Amino acid sequence: MNFSDRLKRCRQIKKEENPNWTQDYIARQIGVARTTYTAYERGTKIPTLDTVNKIADLFDVSTDYLLGRSDISDHQVDKSNEFDSIKEVNKLMDQYGIEDAAFFDLEKWKSMSPEQIRELESYFQYLVKKSKELEEKENK
């Protein structure tokens, strides 16, 4: 399998999990035009090394896999016991269709309605409760 085939396969796998993983979405994530990304998948254009790195990070695969130097796609294989919280948060953002970190934009929080604040407070209470339960369980 060549670069373009692996690239297309990676996108198809992600798209099965979340329909937002279109060529346009990926192009925006890696900072290229959709037509440029399409050319990568068709094999009519080769990305720069910087772009290959961005693509590998986005798809959570190694550059060796994308370039056909390895058939092992997951670059975390040798770090399987390490927990990467940022990676997990990014997966959740992908899963729930949060396309950018605007969720964490304090200006947007300032414009929340009282009802939204109450919902947020309820969720925070839930998180604190679960955190305490987990801490108590770990201390036993």
Identity of residue 1: M
Q: Which two tokens stand for residue 56?
A: 């590998």
**What sign does the CA torsion over 140, 79, 30, 21 have?**
negative
The per-residue pLDDT for range 86-106, each reduced to its tens digit, is: 777 777 776 766 665 555 666
Closest C-alpha to 74, from 64, 61, 86, 65: 61
Question: What pLDDT sits at residue 78?
Answer: 47
* Residue-wise burial string across 84-102, b where 16 or more C-beta atoms lie within 10 A, e elsewhere: eeeeeebeeebeeeeeeee
Q: Which DSSP category does 111 fall into?
A: T
pLDDT band per the 50, 70, 90 thresholds, residue 43: very high
Question: What pLDDT sits at residue 101?
Answer: 57
For residues 39-56, average pLDDT: 92
Q: Which two tokens stand for residue 98?
A: 């949060």
| pTM beyond 0.85, yes or no | no
Phi, psi of 69 (to 5 degrees): -85, -10
CA–chain centroid gap for 96, Å, is 10
For residues 8-24, average pLDDT: 91
pLDDT band per the 50, 70, 90 thresholds, residue 65: confident
Q: Are 74 and 60 in contact (CB under 8 A)?
A: yes
Question: What pLDDT sits at residue 42?
Answer: 94
